[in-house]
Amino acid sequence: MSTRQSQLLGLVIAALALCLVLAYVGQWAYTTFAPKPTPIPPTATPGPTPTPTPLGPLTINYYVAPSAEDYFRQAAQSYNATKPSVSGRPVQVAIFPVDSISAWRKFESETMTPLPHAWVPESRVFPLLVNETLGAKRGKDVFFEGGQYRIQPTLLSVPVFVYFNSRYQVLQSKFGAGNLGWRTVFTATSASGWQTLGGPASYGVFRWIEGNPLKDPVAVYGIQNAAGAYFGRPAVGPDDLENAGFKAFMKTILASSANLGLGSYGLDDLRLFRYSFGDGGVFMEKDVLDHLAEASKWDDPLRVVYPEYVSWLDYPVAIWMGDEFSADDKNATLDFSRYVRSKPMQELAVQMGFRPVNEEVIASQVAQSPFLRWKDVGVAADITRLQGMRFLNRDVLDAILNFYRQDILGQK
């Protein structure tokens, strides 16, 4: 082998050796620095799909005028038994009695806590006044006057006069059966005693029963109705309440009360205290009907008279439309509102002494209607021809309250 051939063979051997060394180094670098593959876990056995935890029951709170509490409790019990739901959530309605005038003040001062889903005072005037005040503050209505969520009446009642029958007979003989309204009450309270009215001196002086309008909505409407009778028209304004002649008229009537300024009065007070409480007075028709069965057993039962002008109390459902409640809350509240206006519930309302708002229900045609049962003592099944007073506004309501506070109680 020549020298040149030996040199070429050496170069080939060296090149092969270098290739082997580079391959080894490359393999070592790859196994040392390359990212490790994520191990694949063994396949798990499929299980059931988890069921989402259901939301709890939705409780809808209704704040209701005490005079309608029993009816709304029965309606809520019946409604809840149907197992209502909204968006798959069960619904339960809860009823809480709340004085309407106190509630009105708390709403307007924004101190009503907790807020109800709906409010049912005696009259729509209260939620309308609240909406006027809070709507201006918030820039949007809290109680709607239009649309499906609007303020809607559920029950009807009116303030009526009640006399002990012995006193009624004396007044009827002197003034006539159809003339025993506010002007007769004024004449009776102005008299020196029952003997000047044709009754026995043992009756003493005529005393009238009327609650405190600062606490009792029926008393508010009593003064409004008295103003209607005094002026002979269904609309009265704040100037009428400031009229000196009307003030003297009303002060004479109220001064005869044995319990002036104490609060609201019901037929329970008349049952307990009889003549020492008064000879007659103004009460809610529903309250009167509740007590006539018992009063019929008294030695001197009661007679009912409808005054010249009456104010319709419509017990409206006012749904709170603020952002505090969800759409589901409001829809569930609306559903119960519709339920209480249904025909079966309105028939129940008639049996409990309210007049219906559902046109399918006629008070005189409902089984066990108290409006027929007590017609012999003056209860009227149909009072649509009575002269109704216009709904109160803020100015008239404030005038009534200010008159009572300043002129009757002597407060500033």
61-70, 212-221, 258-267: which range is least confident on average?
258-267
What is the domain count for the chain? 2
Q: Is residue 93 part of a domain?
A: yes
44-48, 284-288, 348-352, 373-377: which range is least confident on average?
44-48
Q: Is residue 63 part of a domain?
A: yes
pLDDT given for residue 411 in this prediction? 84
Are residue 184 and residue 300 in the same domain, yes or no?
yes
- Provide mean pLDDT across the span 27-32: 53
Q: Is residue 359 part of a domain?
A: yes
Q: Is residue 292 part of a domain?
A: yes
Under the phi-then-psi rule, with left for phi > 0, alpha for psi from -120 to 50, and beta for the rest, what region is 368? left
Are residue 80 and residue 227 in the same domain, yes or no?
no
Are residue 291 and residue 394 in the same domain, yes or no?
yes
Q: Residue 224: is its pLDDT beyond 80?
A: yes
- Provide mean pLDDT across the span 226-241: 96
Q: Residue 25: is its pLDDT beyond 50?
A: no
Q: Is residue 241 part of a domain?
A: yes
Tens-digit pLDDT profile for residues 380-400 = 988 888 889 998 999 999 999
Are residue 137 and residue 193 in the same domain, yes or no?
no
Are residue 183 and residue 109 in the same domain, yes or no?
no
Q: Is residue 45 part of a domain?
A: no
Q: Is residue 109 part of a domain?
A: yes
Are residue 140 and residue 103 in the same domain, yes or no?
yes
Q: Residue 23: is its pLDDT beyond 60?
A: no
Are residue 68 and residue 192 in the same domain, yes or no?
no
Percent of the chain's residues with pLDDT above 70: 85
Are residue 210 and residue 115 in the same domain, yes or no?
no
The answer to whether the beta carbons of residues 365 and 93 sit under 8 Å apart is no
CATH number of 382's domain: 3.40.190.10
Are residue 264 and residue 204 in the same domain, yes or no?
yes
Tens-digit pLDDT profile for residues 299-333 = 999 999 999 999 999 999 999 999 999 999 999 99
The answer to whether the beta carbons of residues 227 and 219 sit under 8 Å apart is no
Question: What value does the mean pLDDT of the chain take?
Answer: 88
Are residue 203 and residue 320 in the same domain, yes or no?
no
Q: Is residue 17 part of a domain?
A: no
Are residue 221 and residue 103 in the same domain, yes or no?
no
Tens-digit pLDDT profile for residues 245-291 = 999 999 999 999 876 655 566 777 777 778 888 999 999 999 999 99
Are residue 319 and residue 307 in the same domain, yes or no?
no
Q: How confident is the model at residue 194 (pLDDT cuts 50, 70, 90)?
A: very high
Q: Residue 298: is its pLDDT beyond 80?
A: yes
pLDDT given for residue 155 in this prediction? 98
Name the pTM for this structure. 0.83
Range of the domain at 179: 159-312+377-408
Count of CA atoms in the C-beta half-sphere (13 A) of 325? 23
pLDDT given for residue 177 in this prediction? 83
Q: How confident is the model at residue 178 (pLDDT cuts 50, 70, 90)?
A: confident
